[in-house]
Structure 1
Amino acid sequence: MPVRCSVEASPSRHAALRPRYGGHQFGNWAGQLGDGRAITLGEVKTDDGFLELQLKGAGLTPYSRTADGKAVLRSSIREFLCSEAMHHLGVPTTRALSLVTTGEAVVRDVLYNGNPAPEPGAVVCRVAPSFIRFGSFQIHVADGHHETLRALVDHTVRHHFPHHDVSTDDGLIAWLTEVAEATATMIAHWMRVGFVHGVMNTDNMSIHGLTIDYGPYGWLEPFDVDWTPNTTDAGRRRYRYNNQPHIGAWNVARLLESMAPLMEDVGRLQPVLDHYMEFAMNAQSETWAEKLGLGTLRESDEPLVNDLLDLLGATEVDMTLFFRHLCSINEPDVAHVADAFYEGSEPDTSAWNRWLKRWWERVDGQPDRDGMRRANPKYVLRNWMAQLAIDAAEERGDFSVAEELHELLKRPYDEQPEHEAKWFQKRPEWARHRVGCSMLSCSS
């Protein structure tokens, strides 16, 4: 799957590096977390600044702990396709430059249930301004290495946020506020397209506000605000869809705590978290205004949105199909969105028509259709779609499905009628309970 990019190599920045970071996993401090199976090759210079090139799955490093540092084809296809799909959806994300198979068998226990098996190995080369995470700073505080923390902060800001001067509290607060806003913006985009990250640990939070580390992610298919694709989180559902903005706040709080050793007045950190909460709330409001074609979300619109969420949750209805169909209706009749309901579901037709009439009156029969189509994608990388690509690649060495999806998802907001019958579809019944579609683990 070739990816064309226009970059200019920088010979002075080519030494391979191994990242070291820690983090909170599922709310608990986990100490050093190895290297994420990643090796940084160096940087390339582009018109927009430097981009870091990183191999994921290239093997052992000094920080690999007890793992082998390798990756399997299954997870590599998912990362490659999803990072590119997210970019074209307009969601802040790392990018994927290439995916190659290694010809080596890698043993993994997919569901952590005592059944390890060999899988084909692969390596993804991914790209971002940097892969510095919240946990990159946390580990130095945990180790009591405050001078190293200061050096990392200075490097990060000088190299990637040069408009800030972090030698003072004012500068640190300004930089941290920018990071908090970028984090809130990223999560608002997740919510807009129905994306659930699945592993919002602090080591998976980019300092740039980019979606990073595509593991057991998924998109809402039947709309369920409590859904998480991660089997490890099935009990607590900490990282469920509607909790993502709140987890963002929790993670920002941990980042702010890690900066306390550098602050003269640590009391100034709390307002940054307060600002995140307000900024995130406003971003969510803007998201719903865009999705519903309202222009601006008024305070009086809150019942309209909440009642829609209740209706979506009460019936097995596909989020992506529903909102895309909503862009095109010309009268408030549930028949125009009926294709979004899963077989066997029994929608309350009267309740749906009442809501649609309220919405129709709110937009004066003239919703911002173009804006709605820009906010509501027609095509997203559903897990069953990714699984079809994985099956073809693993079983037959056939990457044509992956290549087809790669092309399809470059234009997720376009109609692409030639692909409707195949890809503009609800989750098929065979995928309802299949591993890799309805549930995933962190095994990769």
Structure 2
Amino acid sequence: MNTIQLNIQDTFNKELPADPILENSRRQVKEAFFSYVTPKKTTAPALLHVSDAMLQALGISEEEKKSDAFLKIFTGNEVLDNTKPYAMCYGGHQFGNWAGQLGDGRAINLGEVVHNNKRWAIQLKGAGETPYSRSADGLAVLRSSIREYLCSEAMFHLGVPTTRALSLALTGDEVLRDVLYNGNPAYEKGAVVCRVAPSFIRFGNFEIFAARGDHESLKKLADYTIKHFYPYLVTPSKEVYIQFFKEVATRTLETVLHWQRVGFVHGVLNTDNMSILGLTIDYGPYGWLEGFDFGWTPNTTDATNKRYRFGNQPNIGLWNLYQLANAIYPLIDEVEGLEKILNDYKVDFEEKSLEMMRSKLGLEQKEEEDSRLILQLEENLELSETDMTIFFRNLSKFTKEKNGSGVDIVKEAFYSSEEIQGEILEKWNTWFTFYRNRLKKERLSDEARKEKMNNVNPKYVLRNYMAQLAIESADKGNYSLIEELYQLLKKPYDEQPDNEKWFVKRPEWARHKVGCSMLSCSS
């Protein structure tokens, strides 16, 4: 018996059909939802960091965290009592093209835990090959694992729906990776992240069964998902499946709007990376906007077409919902209900995006001129490279009454302040006059508005250069920066005077540095 006492209540691998083949070989898995897989034992596992918040959420004590069993279980070297680890089967559209079967190629689910009436699926990423690994090794490197661990927790504290992370560990093994896909592979430190979410079911779980014409399995999956994660929809029926789709669409839009609010770019919004619960899932080549740019993508693979650029994320959310609608159509056999939801998404995005931008500007009342005010602001932000996070955070200091230039208040956000002259300066001065006149229609005092703005415009986000500094330190055996950033990102909306060094624009050395400006899917 191991010493971690968790309230294991598995459902996915007990209520849904398993792959009857137990051999861990790459193959097409038919009429099954998952394959049983045992995580790969590692040479010298070592914990680097553990999330105190997720320890509490799962009901794990400090004493248990320090045990040998905790280390072994959450690095894949020991299996939890009364559990049968597995990898999920799903398909997906990648960069707009149907890719067929994909599945958990390097993720292994350990089980489901219920604590304080909340259900959590626990999953190891980088724990070895599965039947869905295709030509890969199922492992992960420290570089990408640090990024995933820090970002999932940072997103939670930003108020963005997300998967979480319990632990980050070294495996003691070396992993061969070609970071830039340019034929120069190198060995890197292997690592494992323990990811946690109510469920890791994706759009692609539904797509694979629809693509294969396996409508019986499709219905089982929909009924299972509704039973455990949308229980208020009650007994499955055509109407309930339509309502289920509406719930998924609503949650998806909510999450995308949060991304736009904080300047987060996912980087690889394939349908297999879309959570059926509307969570941010699979932190690969993500990034935060440094300079405000609707056309920016952090993904080297997407550099040409920029399908997953910042400004296109709402459209991709809709495109992916169309694929999910096509997948569940056989359960409904009529298009009207699904089409209405998809059309509503477009209308809702316009309304909620405007509402979100009002909140970033500290506007409570609705005025017809707001759309024009926001459009002019977005156009101005792209006139000269302007840091999004610093701009909106400092904008809260602007007042209704004239007390100096608005440009001076946000000047720290400009990468090249010498460019803010002539026509560009004139456009900014015009906008600030417009903004001040608009603020005068608001009831809130300047101080009350500042507080509200600072609750939606974070001061600290996980910029790529920050993650890269933590990675480079960790590669040298110094893991203190992981802890420093973890603590910083717990309170992204607080001033944190002692951490002002992180409230700065991207340093020039990071502008074109690998891992800072663009990233690949290599991890």
Match of 1:410 among 464, 487, 490: 490
What is the DSSP-based 3-state SS (H/G/I as helix, E as strand, rest coil) of the residue aligned with 1:137? helix
Pairing 1:22-421 to 2, within 5 Å after superposition: 22-165=91-234, 167-330=236-399, 331=403, 332-343=405-416, 346-347=419-420, 348-364=424-440, 366-367=445-446, 368-394=449-475, 396-420=476-500
Report what 1:3 is aligned to. 51
Count of residues in Structure 1 that have an aligned counterpart in Structure 2: 441
Matched to 1:417, the amino acid is P
Q: Measure the CA separation in 1 of the matches of 2:419 and 2:437.
A: 26
1:159 deviates by: 1.3
Structure with higher Rg: it is 2
Q: Measure the CA separation in 2 of the matches of 1:117 and 1:8.
A: 39
Q: Please, which moves more after superposition, 364-373 or 160-169?
A: 364-373
What is the DSSP-based 3-state SS (H/G/I as helix, E as strand, rest coil) of the residue aligned with 1:18? strand
Deviation readout 1:247-296 (Å, 9 max, x if unpaired): 00000111011001111423321111112222222221111010001114
Q: Please, which moves more after superposition, 269-278 or 398-407?
A: 269-278
Report what 2:503 is aligned to. 424
What is the DSSP-based 3-state SS (H/G/I as helix, E as strand, rest coil) of the residue aligned with 1:172? helix
2:521 equivalent to 1:442: yes
Q: Measure the CA separation in 1 of the matches of 2:494 and 2:236.
A: 47
What is the DSSP-based 3-state SS (H/G/I as helix, E as strand, rest coil) of the residue aligned with 2:88? coil
Deviation readout 1:193-247 (Å, 9 max, x if unpaired): 0000000000000000000000000011111110000010001101110110010
Q: Measure the CA separation in 1 of the matches of 2:144 and 2:138.
A: 13
1:23 deviates by: 0.4
CA contact (8 A) 1:226 1:241 kept: yes
Matched to 1:150, the amino acid is K
Q: Measure the CA separation in 2 of the matches of 1:325 and 1:361.
A: 19
CA contact (8 A) 1:13 1:42 kept: no
Distance 1:235 1:441, change over 3 A: same
Distance 1:72 1:338, change over 3 A: same
1:62 deviates by: 1.7
Matched to 2:487, the amino acid is E
CA contact (8 A) 2:384 2:416 kept: no
Structure 2 spans left out of the alignment, 5+ residues: 1-48, 61-79
Report what 2:70 is aligned to. none
1:411 deviates by: 0.3
1:166 deviates by: 5.4
What is the DSSP-based 3-state SS (H/G/I as helix, E as strand, rest coil) of the residue aligned with 2:231? coil
CA contact (8 A) 1:315 1:345 kept: no
Q: Measure the CA separation in 1 of the matches of 2:50 and 2:294.
A: 36
Matched to 2:492, the amino acid is P
Matched to 1:425, the amino acid is V
1:297 deviates by: 4.2
1:361 deviates by: 1.1
What is the DSSP-based 3-state SS (H/G/I as helix, E as strand, rest coil) of the residue aligned with 2:50? coil
Q: Please, which moves more after superposition, 297-306 or 424-433?
A: 297-306
Q: Measure the CA separation in 1 of the matches of 2:254 and 2:235.
A: 23
1:344 deviates by: 6.0
Q: Measure the CA separation in 2 of the matches of 1:172 and 1:13.
A: 33
Structure 1 spans left out of the alignment, 5+ residues: none
1:298 deviates by: 3.0
Distance 1:250 1:296, change over 3 A: farther
Matched to 1:369, the amino acid is K
Deviation readout 1:369-406 (Å, 9 max, x if unpaired): 11110110000000000000000001x11111111000
Matched to 2:324, the amino acid is L
What is the DSSP-based 3-state SS (H/G/I as helix, E as strand, rest coil) of the residue aligned with 2:92? strand
Deviation readout 1:310-349 (Å, 9 max, x if unpaired): 1100111100000000011234521111111113650222
Superposition CA RMSD, Å = 1.5
1:165 deviates by: 3.2
Matched to 1:386, the amino acid is A
What is the DSSP-based 3-state SS (H/G/I as helix, E as strand, rest coil) of the residue aligned with 2:175? strand
Distance 1:166 1:226, change over 3 A: farther
TM-score normalised to structure 2 length: 0.82
Q: Measure the CA separation in 1 of the matches of 2:511 and 2:298.
A: 12
Structure scoring higher RCO (CA < 8 A, sep ≥ 6) equals 1
Q: Please, which moves more after superposition, 363-372 or 211-220?
A: 363-372
Deviation readout 1:158-197 (Å, 9 max, x if unpaired): 1111111352111111111011000000000000000000
- Percent identical residues: 56
Matched to 2:413, the amino acid is A
What is the DSSP-based 3-state SS (H/G/I as helix, E as strand, rest coil) of the residue aligned with 2:168? strand
Q: Measure the CA separation in 2 of the matches of 1:128 and 1:101.
A: 22
